[in-house]
Structure 1
Amino acid sequence: MRVAVLVDNYLTNLTTLRLRLLAEWGFAAYLYDYRILYDTGLSGKALLNNMQALGIGPDEPEVLVFSHRHIDHTGGLKALLNARSKPLTIIAHENLFAKAYAKDDMGEVEIGVDFTKDFLESRRAKLILVKGPYKVAEGVWASGEIPRRWGPSHTGAVADPVPDDMALYVKHPRGLVALTGCGHAGVENIVEHGLEVTGAERLYAIIGGLHLIGLPEARIREVAEYLKKRSPGLVVGTHCTGISGIAALQAALPGAARQGGAGLVLDL
């Protein structure tokens, strides 16, 4: 199973210079074996540039799963659809079009999607809105709403509890592979729900944003210790995991944690 990180806040090795990859605040990943795109980043510029650099044509993905409605995960959709000649199936939570806000040092800012249902219809996209777990392909599920009963949420500066936060789960021969866009549902909840949905007996890999940025050091250590107890083979914290979070994961899981970055290709 091959996974590529297409959009991330960071560029982490010199190959990105060779390939002229771009970074931006946001996340997107691609599952080659299933032709599933997970999120689209912020602008579309980084997404399409990096897809081209890695040899992924705009028509190659057959399904897009949105982790949640925030613009740094949905903002590349318009550029992607405009670049395609084939229809695309889009799977998202049922509140995809609900307003979303965050607060920074300058005040409140709207961070919801920048497209409409009419736009999707004009591009022949097939939109599937879900609330519970949804089987995307054989052995692959969109999580649906993730129960928050195993640990705290990671909502940070956003104005709502982000019930639409959805992971992408794959039942791998070695255990659960969980992809997460921002991890607003909380790491423990994402993993434990994934084990229930897939029937996997252990966590093999977790890849994506874990939203540790801005959290107290004690909570970051708590997450790292939880993952250490789960003994995954691979942990790749991207995007909103934050520099301190990534460092904590590498300290707690030296054999499993590794850097992310746009252009990272993983063979699992």
Structure 2
Amino acid sequence: MTTLAAVESVDIHVLVDNVTDSLSSVPSFVETELAGLGRRRGAAWVLGGACLCCAAHGLSCLLTIRSGDEVHTVLFDTGPEDRVFEQNVSRLGVDLGPVEAMVLSHGHWDHAGAMLRALQLVRDRNGGREIPCYMHPDMFRSRALKLPNGSFLLMEDVPSAAALEANGGRVVCSREAQTIAGETAFVSGEIARVSGFEPGLPGQHRRTAEGTGWEPDELQMDERFLAVNVRGKGVVVLTACSHAGVVNVLTHARKCFPDVKLHAVLGGLHLSGINERIIPQTVKALHGFGLEVIAAGHCTGWRAMAALCTEFGDARLVPLAVGKRLRF
């Protein structure tokens, strides 16, 4: 059980996602990329290709948390690479100067690839102050997917602790839960695997501790979620990829906050590829959490999105896209 003070609001701005979509209608608490662009540039702005953000396989979200007279800003993941992150930040008109903490959800390249550039951009705007980077110690292990022929497909490593610190980060490594940003945001510890049907990432391996071989790493225990408790609504859970399984993520969140309603889950649900086989169980189990909003994107996959829409309708399902701003 964890105590997390309620805040007035949290804005979640999607800086990187797999898709762009500014034409579909959205609920009242969501602003699209183009709507935000028009609001910033005024009535005389000209729409063209130079305005638009770029989609890429990955996820990055900027949280702006308002608590009383205080405002706290947290960067959750950075997407796969520098160019996409920097271009989208620029075209969305995002000021990274207020960022006071960076959180990496898990040790995969599509969430960590732009961390070093993000640190540089933040420090260019904040006078050079160092930024705490919240990591799990196992994120730094090299990873690979074992292919059917027995060979390994290597994944790009996340930036090392030394590289992060050389670029102005202050690495905070922990396996345990902690609160950050003036105790307005909660970074979970390791997520218990209790659902019985969520397999993690089949085929994933990691380097052994001595670095001489590979060992299975399908559960990926370094994955954590981020949570904010919004007064009058409940807990908003950011699950970047749900390698733990979104049902396990939400079960863990409910255990952490048993006296607070779960209001929303946002992020990738990783129900694509081999995990398409657990879409029915996942959709059924999600009913048990009483969520008002399921904001799914990144690695969720179109089959899962279709199943979620059929089951929950567009009153609760909010597909993510680059540039969308969700206000809770």
Normalising by the residue count of structure 1, what TM-score does the alignment of the two structures yield?
0.92
**Cα 1:105–1:31 shift into 2, 3 Å:** farther
RMSD: 2.1
Equivalent position of 1:130 in the other structure:
174
Contact map agreement 2:234 2:260 (CA 8 A) in 1 = yes
Task: Give the secondary structure class of the aligned counterpart of 1:141.
Answer: strand
Equivalent position of 1:209 in the other structure:
268
- 1:200 positional shift: 4.4
- 1:261 pairs with 2:305: no
The residue type equivalent to 1:21 in the other structure is: C
**Cα 1:198–1:56 shift into 2, 3 Å:** farther
Counterparts of residues 134-153 of structure 1 (less than 5 Å)? 134-137=178-181, 138-151=183-196, 152-153=198-199
- 1:58 positional shift: 3.3
Equivalent position of 1:178 in the other structure:
237
Equivalent position of 2:115 in the other structure:
77
The residue type equivalent to 1:10 in the other structure is: V
Greater CA deviation, 10-19 or 231-240? 10-19
The residue type equivalent to 1:122 in the other structure is: A
How far apart, in 1, do the equivalents of 2:90 and 2:148 lie?
36
Kindly name which structure, 1 or 2, has the bigger radius of gyration based on alpha carbons.
Answer: 2
The residue type equivalent to 1:155 in the other structure is: L
Contact map agreement 1:228 1:252 (CA 8 A) in 2 = no
5+ long unaligned stretches in structure 1: none
Equivalent position of 2:222 in the other structure:
164
5+ long unaligned stretches in structure 2: 1-9, 24-31, 35-46, 66-71, 206-216
Aligned residues: 268
- 1:112 positional shift: 4.4
- 1:191 positional shift: 0.4
Ranked by relative contact order (alpha carbons within 8 Å, sequence separation 6 or more), the top structure is 2
Task: Give the secondary structure class of the aligned counterpart of 1:96.
Answer: helix
Task: Give the secondary structure class of the aligned counterpart of 2:301.
Answer: helix
Task: Give the secondary structure class of the aligned counterpart of 1:146.
Answer: coil
Equivalent position of 2:12 in the other structure:
3
- 1:45 positional shift: 1.7
Normalising by the residue count of structure 2, what TM-score does the alignment of the two structures yield?
0.76
How far apart, in 2, do the equivalents of 1:204 and 1:187 lie?
14
How far apart, in 2, do the equivalents of 1:118 and 1:133 lie?
23
**Cα 1:230–1:115 shift into 2, 3 Å:** closer
Task: Give the secondary structure class of the aligned counterpart of 2:256.
Answer: helix
How far apart, in 1, do the equivalents of 2:243 and 2:229 lie?
22
Equivalent position of 2:289 in the other structure:
230
How far apart, in 2, do the equivalents of 1:74 and 1:105 lie?
27
Counterparts of residues 34-113 of structure 1 (less than 5 Å)? 34-83=72-121, 84-85=123-124, 86=128, 87-103=130-146, 108-113=152-157
How far apart, in 2, do the equivalents of 1:49 and 1:231 lie?
37
Contact map agreement 2:185 2:228 (CA 8 A) in 1 = yes
- 1:105 positional shift: 8.2
- 1:104 positional shift: 6.2
